[in-house]
């Protein structure tokens, strides 16, 4: 089993299994689906944070969080699982950084570094995004990235303007 860290985000509501889920509920449903997988064990969950949207046009604020999990899925199998959950919850990929019902990203997978067509680990921009670092600090403040950078130190260099812990 390896430790993996997943970033979660949503800024759109959608109908899932016959019920309308707001952004926070989208994250909770995704975590429920993830926890049901026999090869995934969620160890820690961060607080949720309301964060300003980054991307094109006017978008609603995001709800973001992070999860630490144990898995024996390979990185690509974990990515496939996350994308299947996104698709189940109405994720449509049309505009890069556009509004979305659900965004599940592999942030870290043990200390693995990978840069392939489908997957880059660590997540390429996590070190500069407070909406990733704040939830990560909740569950792994002393964790170092494969580059040697520490989550808490990276977060200390970010602006927390507009970010609200829920």
Q: Read off the pLDDT of residues 11-55 as tens digits, 9 standing for 90 and up.
A: 876 655 566 668 898 899 999 999 999 999 999 999 999 988 876
Per-residue CA distances from 42 to 18, 19, 101 (Å): 26, 25, 21
Which residue has better confidence, 16 or 137? Answer: 137
For the record, the structure tokens of 95 come out as 């505009």
Told to judge if 93 belongs to the known catalytic residues of this protein, a careful annotator would answer no
Residue 103 among the catalytic residues: yes
Q: Which fold does the domain 2-165 belong to in CATH?
A: Alpha-Beta Plaits (3.30.70)
Catalytic residue selected from 14, 100, 129, 138: 100
* Rounded CA separation 99/13 (Å): 10
Which residue among the candidates 14, 105, 129, 138 is catalytic per the annotation?
105
pLDDT in tens, 81-113: 999 998 888 766 665 555 567 889 999 999 999
DSSP 11-30: ---EEETTEEE-HHHHHHHH
100 is annotated as an active-site residue: yes
Catalytic residue among 14, 61, 72, 91: 91
What is the pTM (predicted TM-score) of this model?
0.90
Residues 49/136, Cβ–Cβ less than 8 Å = no
Query: Count of residues for the chain?
Result: 166
Query: Catalytic pick from 22, 61, 93, 103?
Result: 103
CB 104 within 8 A of CB 66: no
Task: Kindly list the domain boundaries of the chain, sorted by start residue.
Answer: 2-165
**Residue keyed to tokens 């994308």:** 83
Establish whether 91 is a catalytic residue: yes
């Amino acid at each position: 089993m390896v430790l993996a860290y997943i970033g979660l985000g949503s800024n759109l509501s959608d109908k899932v299994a016959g019920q309308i889920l707001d952004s926070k509920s989208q994250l909770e449903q995704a975590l429920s689906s993830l926890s049901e997988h026999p090869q995934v064990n969620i160890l820690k969950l961060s607080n949720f944070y309301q964060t300003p949207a980054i991307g094109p046009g006017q978008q609603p604020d995001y709800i973001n969080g992070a999860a630490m999990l144990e898995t024996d899925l390979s990185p690509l199998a974990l990515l496939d699982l996350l994308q299947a959950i996104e698709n189940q919850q109405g994720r449509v990929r049309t505009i890069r950084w556009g509004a979305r019902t659900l965004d599940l990203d592999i942030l870290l997978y043990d200390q693995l570094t990978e840069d392939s067509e489908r997957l880059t680990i660590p997540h390429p921009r996590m070190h500069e995004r407070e909406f990733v670092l704040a939830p990560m600090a909740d569950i792994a403040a002393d964790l170092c990235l494969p580059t040697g950078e520490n989550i808490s130190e990276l977060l200390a260099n970010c602006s927390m303007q507009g970010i609200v812990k829920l």
